[in-house]
């Protein structure tokens, strides 16, 4: 006896089989929306970054800010997932913004960007809570990748930024200057120099003579290989010896 053949109408359509999800395999969900607060004091820069992010619908710029104080106000109001901010903002720097948000709203991932590459500054930003640092001249796809990466909880540093910062760490572990190389008195003098005090004012604070302050300053410059007051100030800020000057203004 020949086996019975099903009529075409009785067969199960192939399309209906393929359309059923296979056991244990979940359907792929669309990309999750990432809410971004963008901060830069130049409107043309903000416009350019918004244009770069526009082709990516999962990246939503929910607000823009033109200075550091406005950044904090909008961050508290909008609660974005990621803050993309220039380092050198008026009224409040990216460093102070990062410190404040890391303490007040740690769920906001801070991603810094800048035209300049200062390895000490990058290292300090990472220590106080920044999740990433990229160069302003990076290609658009790097901005997208950086936002996605820090949103996922991972750090992101532009390759050039990471290379320079790593080299700085290696040099510091070798022959590079470090605050631990200084005496307690030298550190005190360095801090007051960075705070903007003159030799006479520092002498009054520490109850020592002006000439003694000058001697400590000369030793500081020799030990650190720094030959200007501005250089000593940058060193003190980068090593965290003084608080960010604008931080007090950031507190509500």
Distance CA 117, CA 165 (A): 9
Residue 20 covered by a domain: no
User: 223 and 160, same structural domain?
Assistant: no
Is 97:71 a contact under the CB 8 Å cutoff? yes
Distance of CA 45 to the CA centre of its chain: 18
User: 127 and 218, same structural domain?
Assistant: no
The whole-number pLDDT of residue 26 equals 38
User: 60 and 43, same structural domain?
Assistant: yes
Q: What is the pTM of this model?
A: 0.60
The neighbour count for residue 19, using CB atoms within 10 Å, is 8
User: 87 and 111, same structural domain?
Assistant: yes
User: 236 and 119, same structural domain?
Assistant: no
Q: Is the dihedral of CA 124, 128, 132, 133 positive or negative?
A: negative
The neighbour count for residue 247, using CB atoms within 10 Å, is 16
User: 122 and 42, same structural domain?
Assistant: yes
User: 221 and 138, same structural domain?
Assistant: no
Task: Look at residues 172, 193, 219 and tell me which one is the last residue of a structural domain.
Answer: 172
For 131, the token pair is 């999740």
User: 194 and 159, same structural domain?
Assistant: no
For 71, the token pair is 């950044």
The whole-number pLDDT of residue 9 equals 45
User: 183 and 69, same structural domain?
Assistant: no
Q: Which residue, 90, 140, 136, 84, is CA-closest to 112?
A: 84
Which CATH number covers residue 129?
3.40.50.2300
* Helix, coil or strand: residue 198: coil
Distance of CA 16 to the CA centre of its chain: 51
Which CATH number covers residue 188?
1.10.10.10
Q: Which residue, 247, 235, 236, 238, is CA-closest to 121?
A: 238
Q: Return contacts of 164-169, CB within 8 angstroms, 24+ apart.
A: 164/117, 164/119, 164/122, 165/119, 165/122, 165/123, 165/126, 167/119, 168/119, 168/120, 168/123, 169/123
Residue 73 covered by a domain: yes
The whole-number pLDDT of residue 154 equals 94
The whole-number pLDDT of residue 240 equals 72
Residue 230 covered by a domain: yes
The whole-number pLDDT of residue 201 equals 93
User: 182 and 136, same structural domain?
Assistant: no
Task: Look at residues 172, 203, 229 and tell me which one is the last residue of a structural domain.
Answer: 172
The whole-number pLDDT of residue 223 equals 84
User: 130 and 42, same structural domain?
Assistant: yes
Residue 28 covered by a domain: no
* Helix, coil or strand: residue 101: helix
Is 76:84 a contact under the CB 8 Å cutoff? no
Task: Look at residues 172, 199, 216 and tell me which one is the last residue of a structural domain.
Answer: 172
User: 183 and 164, same structural domain?
Assistant: no
Quote the DSSP letter at residue 244: -
Is 85:71 a contact under the CB 8 Å cutoff? yes
Residue 205 covered by a domain: yes
Is 105:79 a contact under the CB 8 Å cutoff? yes
Residue 17 covered by a domain: no
Residue 13 covered by a domain: no
What total of structural domains would you count in the chain?
A: 2
| Full domain range(s) for residue 216 | 177-250
The whole-number pLDDT of residue 163 equals 73
Residue 53 covered by a domain: yes
The whole-number pLDDT of residue 11 equals 44
Mean pLDDT by 10 residues, the chain (252 residues): 50 40 43 93 96 96 96 97 94 89 95 80 79 92 96 90 63 56 87 89 93 91 84 79 52 40
Distance CA 46, CA 110 (A): 16
């Amino acid at each position: 006896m020949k086996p019975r053949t099903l009529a075409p109408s009785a067969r199960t359509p192939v399309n209906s089989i393929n359309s059923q999800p296979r056991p244990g395999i979940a359907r792929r969900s669309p990309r999750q929306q990432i809410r971004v607060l963008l901060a830069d004091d130049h409107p043309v820069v903000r416009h350019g970054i918004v244009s770069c992010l526009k082709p990516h619908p999962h990246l939503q710029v929910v607000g823009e800010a033109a200075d550091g104080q406005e950044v904090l106000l909008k961050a508290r109001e909008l609660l974005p997932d990621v803050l993309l901010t220039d380092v050198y903002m008026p009224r409040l720097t990216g460093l102070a913004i990062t410190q404040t948000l890391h303490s007040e709203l740690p769920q906001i991932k801070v991603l810094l960007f800048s035209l300049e590459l200062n390895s000490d500054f990058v290292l300090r930003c990472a220590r106080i809570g920044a999740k990433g640092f990229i160069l302003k001249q990076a290609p658009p796809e790097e901005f997208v990748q950086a936002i996605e990466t820090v949103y996922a909880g991972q750090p992101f540093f532009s390759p050039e930024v990471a290379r320079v910062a790593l080299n700085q760490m290696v040099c510091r572990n070798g022959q590079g200057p470090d605050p631990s190389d200084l005496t307690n008195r030298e550190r005190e003098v360095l801090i007051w120099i960075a705070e903007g005090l003159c030799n006479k004012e520092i002498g009054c604070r520490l109850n020592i003579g002006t000439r003694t302050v000058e001697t400590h300053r000369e030793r500081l410059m020799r030990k650190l290989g720094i030959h200007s007051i501005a250089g000593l100030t940058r060193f003190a800020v980068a090593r965290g010896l003084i608080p960010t000057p604008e931080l007090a203004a950031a507190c509500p």
